[in-house]
Structure 1
Amino acid sequence: MTIHTMWKGTISFGLVNIPIKLHAATENKDVRLRQLHKECKTPINYLKVCPNCDAEVEPNDIVKAYEYAKNKFVELDEEELASLKKEQEDKAVEIIDFVKLQEIDPIYFDKSYYMSPGDGGGKAYTLLREALAESEKIGVAKIIIRAKEHLAVIRVYKNTLLMETIHFPDEVRAVDQVPNVPEKVDVTKKEVDTALLLIDQLTTTFDPDKYEDDYRQALMEMIENKKAGKQTVTAKEKEPAASNVTDLMEALQASIDKTKKAGAKKTTRKRTNAKTKKNA
């Protein structure tokens, strides 16, 4: 199955322009659980409500803004944002520097994307791949994805170019903000030697296939067992609301019936009064 293309553009490598496509290299396998109303087992909806007006807000009534101080905003309309986004996305992604992968701490890495060549870009793609592999370097670039500028590195993964977005320095929190980290605690040489021995015993070659998500597997097994045992629930179908036309017709008919009954009672009362006068 071909991986969906999520971004198209051009990467410049010196005077070489490479048309490329990005494809998400990873996927989230978390088991998504829905929240149901305990009474009728219907999935819960989440409404957007204005806390000031205490009213549900429709999508067309929502605008975007930047809060520069408490309850102080700079409003930005969609046209301004779209124009800025297009202006940035139209720029070719330029490889700024080449560095060694070991120089970047893993804390900076964010998301991974496979890169494939666009139309007519096969030779230039291969050139960059071979040059990176032989030099044992990675390229550092900037790219706009989903209206956000990312710092990224381009490297070789097996036979494919891989782009990994990385955090900007100001997005990585300072380590000295971590509370209760001991500066120095005296440990004995015997304790260190024992820890080193344990590390040595557990040292192996990294094989990602040996690691599995035990919780997810156990959760899916529980779900499948409940399905097999018919321990399932079904959401109640919402009764269709009567249309305004139906409501109006019913109201008119009820009015007619009420008028007829009132007229019949009035006629009966007149006849009774007439008989009473005649007998008198």
Structure 2
Amino acid sequence: MHTIWKGAISFGLVHIPVKLYAATEEKEIVLHLLHKSCHGTIKNQRYCHSCQSVVEPEDLIKGYPLDTNQFVTFDKDELDKIHDDTSKKISILDFADELKVDLMFTQKVYFLGPDTHGANAYYLLLKALEASKKIAIGKMTLRSNTKLCVLKPINGNCIQLATMYYTNEIRPSENVPNLATNISVDPGHLKLALQIVKGLTGTSDLESYTNPEQERLLNAIQSKISGQLIVSNPAQESEVVVDLLDALQESVKLVKGKNNPKQIIRKEKLG
């Protein structure tokens, strides 16, 4: 697994070196944008409409909009000073019962693994969470943003970390249109609905579900490959061939030079 973040858990006075790994991955099939006439790859560029020019990454700053044409601007150094200076630490703030944490707050899930040193402290925290049947609530800085997070033991030997939304990032359900204030349903209809719920309970689990759209797209891709319905981009292919050819020719020259040093010396003397 690729390490996303490296730091430590601050557990009271205990310092636990850890590494962060992605626990999930998107299985979305990526389709590239191509030019219909030549099948060239379309690339997105950062374009300034005011200057009518392409902008390089080093010329970018960030701005908070005050109105349509006014901004308060920040460069990278200014933003770095604003961010929490404990960028390599997960500070545990509290412990809570798992059922008291609303899934609405869950943002993204990761795995925390022990670093090369400090494995004993890592497993001590894991077993403490297991024995107390608690989860740890903390904060960390990830990709320049201070995040709330929860730590939970899983599978008996690993700590799962989930980043969380702050309360002001959760939209109130009262804003959902057309919600009724006084709800009444027909008792007979409710009885039938409960029978359906009971009949479907325990018939499947999350591991049994697959993405039907992804499967159809994969089948369509395989069908086109089998039927040789494949296009190419001549311009891109020729660039690769030229680069490879140049590299091979230069390599041949170097090999010849190493194998025939007298010829090189003779040429230098002639010069």
* Normalised-by-shorter TM-score class: 0.7 to 0.9
What secondary structure is seen at the aligned counterpart in 2 of 1:88? coil
User: CA 1:35–1:182 in structure 2 vs 1: closer, same or farther (change >3 Å)?
Assistant: same
Structure 1 Cα separation of the partners of residues 237 and 191 of structure 2: 71
Q: Does 1:150 align with 2:147?
A: yes
Structure 1 Cα separation of the partners of residues 143 and 97 of structure 2: 28
- Map Cα deviations across residues 74-113 of structure 1 (whole Å, 9 max, x no partner): 22112223344472315x3211110011111111101111
Tell me the CA shift for residue 65 of structure 1: 1.9
Q: Which amino acid in 1 is paired with 2:12?
A: G
Tell me the CA shift for residue 205 of structure 1: 6.7
Tell me the CA shift for residue 24 of structure 1: 0.5
Q: 1:272 is matched with which residue?
A: none
User: CA 1:188–1:229 in structure 2 vs 1: closer, same or farther (change >3 Å)?
Assistant: same
Q: Which amino acid in 2 is paired with 1:168?
A: Y
User: CA 1:126–1:60 in structure 2 vs 1: closer, same or farther (change >3 Å)?
Assistant: closer
* Number of residue pairs aligned between Structure 1 and Structure 2: 238
User: CA 1:239–1:126 in structure 2 vs 1: closer, same or farther (change >3 Å)?
Assistant: closer
What secondary structure is seen at the aligned counterpart in 2 of 1:75? strand
Question: RMSD of the TM alignment (CA)?
Answer: 2.0
Q: Which amino acid in 1 is paired with 2:153?
A: V
The aligned runs of 1:29-48 (5 Å cut-off) are 29-48=27-46
Q: 2:72 is matched with which residue?
A: 74
- Map Cα deviations across residues 153-187 of structure 1 (whole Å, 9 max, x no partner): 00011121011001100010011111112223432
Q: Does 1:203 align with 2:204?
A: no
Q: Does 1:93 align with 2:82?
A: no
Structure 2 Cα separation of the partners of residues 214 and 49 of structure 1: 37
User: CA 1:189–1:82 in structure 2 vs 1: closer, same or farther (change >3 Å)?
Assistant: same
Q: Which amino acid in 2 is paired with 1:132?
A: L
* Structure 2: gaps of 5 or more residues: 240-271
* Structure 1: gaps of 5 or more residues: 242-280
User: CA 1:127–1:206 in structure 2 vs 1: closer, same or farther (change >3 Å)?
Assistant: farther
Structure 1 Cα separation of the partners of residues 218 and 50 of structure 2: 43
What secondary structure is seen at the aligned counterpart in 2 of 1:227? helix
TM-score by structure 2 length? 0.82
Q: Does 1:141 align with 2:138?
A: yes
Q: 2:124 is matched with which residue?
A: 127
Asked whether the 8 Å contact 2:84–2:146 carries over to 1, the reply is no
The aligned runs of 1:261-276 (5 Å cut-off) are none
Moved more, 219-228 or 66-75: 66-75
Tell me the CA shift for residue 54 of structure 1: 2.1
Moved more, 49-58 or 78-87: 78-87
TM-score by structure 1 length? 0.80
Q: 2:113 is matched with which residue?
A: 116
Q: 1:223 is matched with which residue?
A: 221
Give % identity. 34
Q: Which amino acid in 2 is paired with 1:182?
A: A
